[in-house]
Amino acid sequence: MAYEVVGVTPPGAGSFRNQQLHPSLDMGGPIDVFMPIRFTPWQLQSDLADEFVGIARLKPGITLGQARAELDSTLTSIPEYQAAFAILKVRVDLQELQAVVVRDARSGLLLLLLSVGLVLLIACVNVANLSLVRSTQRVRELAVRVALGASRGALIRYSLAESFLVAVAGTITGSILSRWITDVALSRAPILPRADEIAADTVVLCFAIAICILTTILFGTLPAWRASRVDPMEALSAGSRGNTDSSRGGRIRASLIAAEVALGAVLVIGSGLLLRSFHQVMNVPRGFDGHDVLISLLKLPTDRYPWVEKQASFFRRLRDDLSSVPGVLQVPANTRPPRLDEAIYPVFEEDSAKPLNELTSASWPNVSSNYFDVMKIPVRAGRLFRDEGETDKVAVVSESAARRMWPGQDPIGKRVRKSIEAADDYSRVVGVVGDVLSSALDRVSTPAVYRPYTQRGGRPSAAYVVIEASVPPAALATPFRKAITRLDPDVPVLELLPMPAVIAGSVQMRRFQTWLLTAFALVAVLLAAIGIYGIVAYSIVQRRKEIGIRVALGANPKKVSQFVFRNGLAPVVCGLVAGLVAALLFSRLLASLLFSGECIRPVTFLVTPLLLVLAASVPCWLIARKASRIHPIDALRTE
């Protein structure tokens, strides 16, 4: 059927639908073409219109709560709605479009924002600590400036100006690198709503400049304030003795190191929790074996295939054609495999007096008899149906469906029907098969009622071709394309994908969140290691003369090395303890992202911080090793 194009929408107008699977397999992806609603023959004959969603814009000054109240008042005045509510016990509700669009991506975006904030704090603490070191080293210079008449305000402005120069240089470098980093992140990210608008544009640059100014003021003030409190006489006399540090300055730097380690511990532990959760997800029992299985989505033109019988005929011929291709083992006809969302409908049991809202809801896949063999789904009881030889309507139910509908009973021989079918259109249960994760690895299995694809009624829809093959997808791409073209040149041919890729697509958001937090945790560890190295190295320089005297008086270099190592790790241990406490609170925020929802895992909280201890031990060991080799003559030569 040909359509006349009457308008063009702006970019992204159809991107409000969430896409969770591979683009070649997802029927709920972004919308490219808008058409006026025209009811199909099946819809005109159906009593239900449950697939239509209304979109409305609130009037100015009207809140969402007021709109909900008005809608509820209007609907309750309709007798048909009152009757439906008496049975279904549900109400029509309004939701904000933005909340619906970002529903699946919201937690990941919040996690990104929190991770960026923590890394920014660690970087700021690092810079503040190094600025303190620099101001301490330059205390004699600042004392001379004060002695020559420099005011406190002038010193503060001078110190802040240096901090601004460093911050501006970092902002410019970060802005240049942001394009590359954004491209790398988006290449690993799942399909996000409005992803085409993610870019390092002018708004992002202005935000980065504002953050630069704010962080410089917040974390550059402490070094500037300390520099302005220089006592010229004390500083110059201390400088003549070669000692310009103070115990108070050392405590401040140690406190900043502890804060840096604590923030890093939060990210590292959060990353460990997500990594462990992702490992559990990928190893959860699936109920089927997807190895050597290929899958593709076919969308038959509805004007040429208006009824399911025509679709079934097309897939039968396609199955026969593909079965002769070398490398193809089996081809189930016209089916919908695991990992792809099924429509969920209530299951009516014959002679059941349960109200509709208490009935078991299940997916209703229509499959061929060899589908269970291809997917390695075990038969628990009864038998499987036959594709062509079944005269009566039959069904095979999953274990969870049998337990929920007939607890403690034999399900074989029971009769069920879908909620949208005629009141006497029941299918007899002839077998029970194992449960299958039918939507995503991180969700519970959905009860299923399988029926022969030859007995499917109702509307036509897109269907999936499932192929069990002993060759890779590339070897079957050309034969697959030719087979479809021979049957109908107008049917679009999409990509053949291995089933493991489809499985991976169902957890792409969880994988992205784990990768993202792990990347930020590694950056935090690197920043903490750099900061610890700088501070410990500076403390050794300040105590160089003391160490030389100790060695000259007979101190064992090994003891000196241990002394330096312990002093360097002391603030790290304190920060790690504080980080563990903060991580307990942070992990509760991650509970919704964890597979089992368990946020306190002793193994993760004990093993993961060892990464921080190791990262801190390396610079401390390097400096301690260097300190043990200080020669007394070199250390005292400055006297």
* DSSP per residue, 290-343: -TTEEEEEE---TTT--SHHHHHHHHHHHHHHHTTSTTEEE--SSB--TTSPPP
Residue 345 has pLDDT above 60, yes or no: yes
Write down the pLDDT at residue 343: 66
Boundary (domain end) residue, out of 474, 500, 530: 474
Residues 513 and 444 occupy one common structural domain? no
Q: Is residue 245 part of a domain?
A: yes
Per-residue pLDDT, 48: 47
Instruction: Name the CA radius of gyration of the chain, rounded.
Output: 34
From CA 611, how far away is CA 272, in angstroms rounded?
10
Domain stop point among 474, 499, 520: 474
Q: Closest by alpha carbon to 331, among 293, 297, 378?
A: 293
pLDDT, one tens digit per residue, over 478-507 is 888 888 888 888 888 777 888 887 777 777
Whether residue 19 lies inside any domain: the answer is no
Closest CA to 263 of 516, 533, 528, 518: 528
Same domain, yes or no: 112 and 86? no
Name the pairing type of β-strands 361-363 and 328-330.
Answer: unpaired
Report whether pLDDT(60) > 80: yes
Is residue 238 predicted with pLDDT exceeding 60? no
- Over residues 360-382, the mean pLDDT reads 85
CB–CB of 244/139 below 8 Å?
yes
Q: How many CB atoms lie within 10 A of CB 204?
A: 14
Among 76-80, 336-340, 526-530, 560-564, which range has the highest average pLDDT? 526-530
Distance CA 615, CA 617 (A): 6
**Structural domain count, the chain:** 3
- Residue percentage of the chain with pLDDT more than 90: 2
Give the range among 171-180, 261-270, 459-468 with minimum mean pLDDT.
459-468
162: enclosing H helix or E strand: helix 152-188
- pLDDT at position 431: 92
Q: Position 589: which residue type?
A: L
Q: What is the residue range of 50's domain?
A: 41-101
Evaluate if residue 422 carries a pLDDT over 60: yes
Give me the torsion for CA of 537, 543, 544, 546, rounded to 10°: -150
**Together in a domain, 318 and 399:** yes
Residue 228 has pLDDT above 60, yes or no: yes
pLDDT, tens only, 282-311 = 777 777 887 888 888 877 777 777 777 777
Mean pLDDT of the region 167-176: 82
pLDDT digits (tens, 9 = 90+) for 427-469: 899 999 998 876 666 666 788 888 887 776 655 566 778 888 8
Say how far apart CA 520 and CA 120 lie, in whole Å: 10
Inter-axis angle of helices 308-322 and 473-487, to 10 degrees?
130
- Same domain as 274, residue 314: no
Same domain, 97 and 183: no
Among 231, 213, 228, which Cα is nearest to 153's? 228
- Model pLDDT, residue 153: 75
Residue 539's identity, in one-letter code, is S
Q: Are residues 110 and 96 in the same domain?
A: no
Is residue 544 over pLDDT 80?
A: no
The DSSP code sequence of 241-272 is TT----HHHHHHHHHHHHHHHHHHHHHHHHHH
Contact between 619 and 532 (Cβ < 8 Å): yes
Q: Which of 44-53, 379-388, 552-561, 588-597 is the least confident region? A: 44-53
* pLDDT over 70, % of the chain: 73
Tell me if 423 is assigned to some domain: yes
Query: For position 1, what pLDDT does the model report?
Result: 63
**Helices 247-282 and 106-137: angle between axes, nearest 10 degrees:** 160
Given a cut of 50, whether residue 513 has pLDDT beyond it is yes
Q: What confidence tier does 369 reach under pLDDT thresholds 50, 70, 90?
A: confident
Task: Give CA torsion, residues 109, 112, 116, 122, to 10 deg.
Answer: 140
Let me know how many helices (H) and strands (E) the chain has, helices first.
21, 12
Does a structural domain hold residue 421?
yes
Residue 360 DSSP symbol: P
- What does pTM read for this prediction? 0.68
Sequence-separated (6 or more) residues with CB below 8 Å from residue 22: 497, 501, 502, 505
- Higher per-residue pLDDT: 37 or 241: 37
Is the domain of 79 the same as that of 163?
Answer: no
Q: Do 339 and 224 fall within a single domain? A: no
Q: How much is the pLDDT for 19?
A: 46
Whether residue 485 lies inside any domain: the answer is no
Q: What is the mean pLDDT of residues 268-282?
A: 78
Task: Kindly report the length of the chain.
Answer: 639
Residue 443: count of CB within 10 angstroms of its CB: 15
Distances, alpha carbon 15 to alpha carbons 192, 297, 414, in Å: 9, 20, 44
* 521-550 b/e (C-beta count within 10 Å ≥ 16 → b): bbbbbebbbbbbbbbbbbbbebbbbebbeb
**Cβ neighbours for 26, distance < 8 A, ≥ 6 positions apart:** 19, 20
Rounded to 5 degrees, what are φ and ψ at 423? -65, -25
> Cβ(431)–Cβ(381) under 8 Å?
yes
- CA dist 413 and 381 (Å) reads 12
Q: Name the strands in the sheet holding 497-498, side by side, starting at the edge strand that comes first in the sequence.
A: 328-330, 463-469, 293-298, 497-498
Instruction: Pick the closest to residue 510 from 193, 104, 116, 187 (CA basis).
Output: 104
Same domain as 255, residue 113: yes
Do 531 and 398 belong to one domain? no
- What is the predicted pLDDT for the residue at 256? 78
> Residue 461: CB partners within 8 Å, gap ≥ 6?
none
pLDDT band at 244, cuts 50/70/90? very low
Indicate whether 527 pLDDT > 80: yes
What tokens appear for 321 in the block? 């054609």
Report how far residue 184's alpha carbon sits from residue 422's, in angstroms, rounded to the nearest whole number: 53
Q: Mean pLDDT over residues 560-568, rounded? A: 78
Would you say residue 242 has pLDDT above 50? no
Among candidate residues 426, 457, 474, the one where a domain is terminated: 474
The candidate with the shortest Cα–Cα distance to 278, out of 449, 515, 544, is 515
Specify the pLDDT at position 636: 61
CA-to-CA distance for 544 and 532, rounded, in angstroms?
A: 18
Looking at the structure, do residues 449 and 342 belong to the same domain, yes or no? yes
pLDDT higher than 60, residue 206: yes
Q: Is the per-residue pLDDT at 571 higher than 80? A: yes
Q: What is the pLDDT of residues 577-601, one digit of tens each?
A: 888 888 877 777 776 667 665 556 6
Look at residues 285, 183, 267, 340 and name the one whose alpha carbon lies nearest to residue 514: 267
Domain for residue 3, yes or no?
no
pLDDT in tens, 96-141: 877 777 766 677 777 778 888 888 888 888 777 777 776 666 667 7
> What pLDDT is stored for residue 27 in this prediction?
46
Tell me 350's DSSP state. T
Residues 351, 355, 359, 363: what is their CA dihedral angle, to the nearest 10 degrees? Answer: 90
- Structure confidence at residue 240 (pLDDT): 47
Per-residue pLDDT of 65-101, as tens digits, reads 888 888 888 877 777 666 656 555 556 778 887 777 7
Calculate the average pLDDT of the chain. Answer: 75
Domain membership of residue 208 (yes or no) is: yes
Give CA–CA dist 611/230, Å, rounded. Answer: 39
Domain assignment present for 289: no
What's the mean pLDDT in 399-409? 89
3 state DSSP class of 344: strand
Residues 470 and 550 in one domain: no
Stretch 222-233: mean pLDDT, rounded?
66
